[in-house]
Amino acid sequence: METLQVGLGERSYPIKIGCGVINQIPRELKTHYQATKYCIVADDNVASLYGHALVDAIRLAGLDCELMIFHHGEESKTLETIADLASQAAQHGLDRKSIFIALGGGVTGDITGFLAACYLRGVPFIQIPTSLLAQVDSSVGGKTGVDIPEGKNLVGAFYQPQAVFIDTDVLQTLPSEEYLNGLAEVIKYGVIRDRNFFDYLHDNRKQILALDQQHVSSMIYHCCRIKAEVVAADEKESNLRRILNYGHTIGHAVEAASDFEIPHGFAVSIGMVAVAKISMNQALLPSDENQKQFDLLKEYGLPTEIPDNLARIKIKQYLLTDKKIVGGKITFVLPAQIGEVVFSDQVSEQEIDSVLTVE
């Protein structure tokens, strides 16, 4: 098991990565994360795969543990779900020395983290991400929240976990589309921060797509290392951390406009292609660098175009409610070359329209 540290002073926490990590959770809790009660939060899919078994294992270790289940999917990421789970937590007798455990993908992590931030004005929580997307991105960094009709993640809080446990074995039960969904975020790290990692993803594509354990573990480790460095330098997204939004501004709008039928990672892939085109048209990104990103996304089987049947006006409406808008301007993360990005609020409406147009 490899360990990284997210350096945030007194609120620093470890990211532990390896095969079979989930089997070590009871011992880790008993040794390092003592609580009056543990409460696992999982969607109905993950609960059947891992939730009930983990509850039993934790109880077998002599610890008090409950399981709270919600319906899977982005549509459950609402204030109503938070209210329902908070009521259940109160009925189970959770107090300020209890610990919530997010067991699942990004939706579960967002919900559990926000619940932990709100319940009794803040109780600890732990992340056990079971999707690739959550393992390489959303489980690290403390972004929590829910959606409202006006947009994605518009209500939330920065609230850091006590620890992140990443078991690479659980990816074997992940549907192939969900695995691809996470690979968009993986490629993002290479584009924004690490050209060598981008090249690694290119050179080892076959092994990564085949879920080769060594290559997958290395891939996750590099993503978490980059995320940890960025979060430690800029926890609340005042400057550097904004690079992690690469592809997300347009991606979130595409995702929401599709009523979340387009998965998050696929939408981010589309968004990365769109902003790279903007950057190239502004003479920031050389055309050959743009082509390298495009080719890698295609090689991994990720989408690169907005579906023809998705209303462009609806995408623009969601863009205008993006939570990162300041003073009426959208700040885009634009690639300058593979491994380097810049911020710009000088993207015109015409430039946005040009990348939304069906060719």
Q: In this structure, are residues 186 and 37 in contact, taking their beta carbons and an 8 Å threshold? A: no
Position 323 scores a pLDDT of: 65
Mean per-residue pLDDT, 320-348? 87
Q: Residue 358 pLDDT more than 70? A: no
Q: Which of 2, 178, 229, 237 is catalytic?
A: 237
Catalytically annotated residue among 16, 77, 143, 193: 143
Of the candidates 111, 140, 173, which is a domain's last residue? 173
Give yes or no: residues 339 and 308 share one domain. yes
Helix ranges (H only) for 92-175 are 106-118, 132-133
* CATH number for the domain that contains residue 32: 3.40.50.1970
Does residue 321 carry a pLDDT above 90? Answer: no
pLDDT of residue 69: 98
CA angle 39, 44, 45 (to 5 degrees): 115
**How many domains does the chain fold into?**
2
**Whether pLDDT at 174 is above 70:** yes
Whole-number pLDDT of residue 144: 97
Indicate if 161 and 265 belong to the same structural domain.
no
* Residue 337 and residue 193 share a domain: yes
pTM strictly above 0.85: yes
Report the DSSP pairing between strands 151-158 and 143-148: antiparallel
- Asked if residue 285 and residue 237 are part of one domain, the reply reads yes
- In this predicted structure, what is the pLDDT of residue 47? 97
Spatial contact of 274 and 293, defined as CB atoms under 8 Å apart: no
Cα-atom radius of gyration of the chain, to the nearest Å? 20
Among 77, 188, 193, 252, which one carries the catalytic annotation?
252
Identified catalytic residue from 77, 152, 215, 227: 227
pLDDT, tens digit (0-9, with 9 covering 90-100), for 185-222: 999 999 999 999 999 999 999 999 999 999 999 999 99
pLDDT at 326: 67
Q: Which residues contact 12 (CB under 8 A, 6 or more apart)?
A: 5, 6
More confident residue, 283 or 324: 283
Catalytic residue among 45, 153, 181, 185: 185
Within 10 angstroms of residue 100's Cβ, the number of other Cβ atoms is: 30
CB within 8 A of 196, min separation 6: which ones? 339
Q: Which of 89-98, 108-117, 345-354 has the lowest mean pLDDT?
A: 345-354
List 153, 181, 245, 290, catalytic entry: 245
The span from the CA of 162 to the CA of 5, in Å, is 11
- pLDDT of 96 higher than 60: yes
- pLDDT at residue 287, rounded to an integer: 96
Q: Which of 190, 168, 207 is nearest to 16 (CA)?
A: 168
Q: Are 73 and 107 in contact (CB under 8 A)?
A: yes
Domain hosting 228: range is: 176-356
pLDDT band at 265 (very low <50, low <70, confident <90, very high): very high
Catalytic residue check, 143: yes
Both 199 and 72 in a single domain? no
10 Å CB burial of residue 240 (0-12, 13-18, 19+) is middle
- Rounded to the nearest integer, the mean pLDDT of the chain is 95
Please tell me whether residues 180 and 169 are part of one structural domain.
no
Three-state SS for 100? Answer: strand
Distance CA 268, CA 292 (A): 17
What is d(CA 276, CA 320) in angstroms, rounded to the nearest whole number? 20
Catalytic residue check, 237: yes
Name the token pair of 347: 């993207």
Phi-psi region of 328 (alpha: psi -120 to 50; beta: other; left: phi over 0): left
pLDDT band at 20 (very low <50, low <70, confident <90, very high): very high
Note if 264 is an active site residue.
yes
Same domain, 34 and 97: yes
Query: Do 132 and 184 reside in the same domain of the chain?
Result: no
What confidence category does residue 151 fall into, taking pLDDT thresholds of 50, 70 and 90?
A: confident
Active site annotation includes 245: yes
pLDDT digits (tens, 9 = 90+) for 120-150: 999 999 999 999 999 999 999 999 999 998 8
13 to each of 3, 67, 126, 161, how far by Cα in Å?
A: 10, 24, 10, 7
pLDDT of residue 1: 84
200, 72: one domain: no
Q: Which of 155, 173, 191 is the last residue of a domain?
A: 173
Q: Answer whether 319's CB lies under 8 Å from 278's CB.
A: no
- Taking residues 223-248, report their average pLDDT: 95
- In this prediction, residues 317-338 reach a mean pLDDT of 84
Mean pLDDT computed over 329-334? 91
181-195, 321-335, 344-358: range with lowest mean pLDDT: 321-335
Same domain, 44 and 117: yes
Strands (E), the chain: 2-6, 13-18, 38-43, 65-70, 99-104, 125-129, 143-148, 151-158, 164-167, 332-337, 340-344
Residue 222 annotated among the catalytic residues of the structure? no
